[in-house]
Amino acid sequence: MKVWESFRQLLESLDLYYIYRGRRYYVLVSKEEVSVERIKIEKMGLTLSTLRPELRYGIEVSDVLVARRLDDLLRLYELYVLRTLTGVERVLELGRVLGYPHCCVRAFAEYNDPAEARHRFHQQLIKLGLDKGSPIELWAVYHTPCSVNCSRTLTLGRGYLRAVEEFSSKVYRRVVEGLSGVHLTWSVGRRYLDYEILDSDVSREFSILASRVLGRGAMVRAVFVKRPYMYVDQVSESLVVRLTPAIMGLR
């Protein structure tokens, strides 16, 4: 549990409230005494006892809710875990609590399937030729932008990156390096292939094979595939976001 301990220490060093999933309960960790809220907290199915986090799919840190204010954290827990609202109302309120741009939240709420909103955004990238070289601010945010030119999203992304840089220049360099990789929109939004183009020669044998498959004039480059992963519409015990490690590495 080394990753979890480091993550927990980071949150507490920043004086943040957080909720995580234990084996039987969600656990609230606060930076101050919350006795006034104890009855409400217990009714919400939360415990203040320190428990080991539930290890899901071998991942140490997952389903962790974080906020600077206790009220915001409890509201997020109600929406995300207890699902006290549904449909468009839940989308709009979640967007507000998470601080996403209102224009993006409204646009996202127009779609019944979240993948459709992402699909539309990726179509914009492809149409403008930005699928292989877009501003890293668009990848620093978690929400789906309402457009590739959304000024609020770009400002928010810059703010996230600035916060990382202020925290650690080393971490910032790693984040920028990761976000600067080429984001190939493959199948337009359901799958991603992040890779870095290398200054290396490609064997003649492979070039001939690629030309035979792709046609003459195809550009063949050596790349290092960083993180290929697949989106799925629903997350369940048997259906998760899957990495495809066989594709990773020099290709």
Over 80: is that where the pLDDT of 9 sits? yes
| Tokens found for residue 122 | 């990726």
User: Averaged over 173-181, what is the pLDDT?
Assistant: 82
d(CA 70, CA 19): 10
Q: What is the pLDDT of residues 142-170, one digit of tens each?
A: 899 999 999 999 999 999 999 999 989 99
Single pTM value for the model: 0.68
Q: What is the pLDDT of residues 25-48, one digit of tens each?
A: 788 887 665 554 565 666 677 776
d(CA 54, CA 76): 20
User: Averaged over 79-84, what is the pLDDT?
Assistant: 90
pLDDT of the residue at 12: 86
Residues 117, 118, 121, 123: is their CA dihedral positive or negative?
negative
Are the C-beta atoms of 97 and 69 separated by less than 8 Å?
A: no
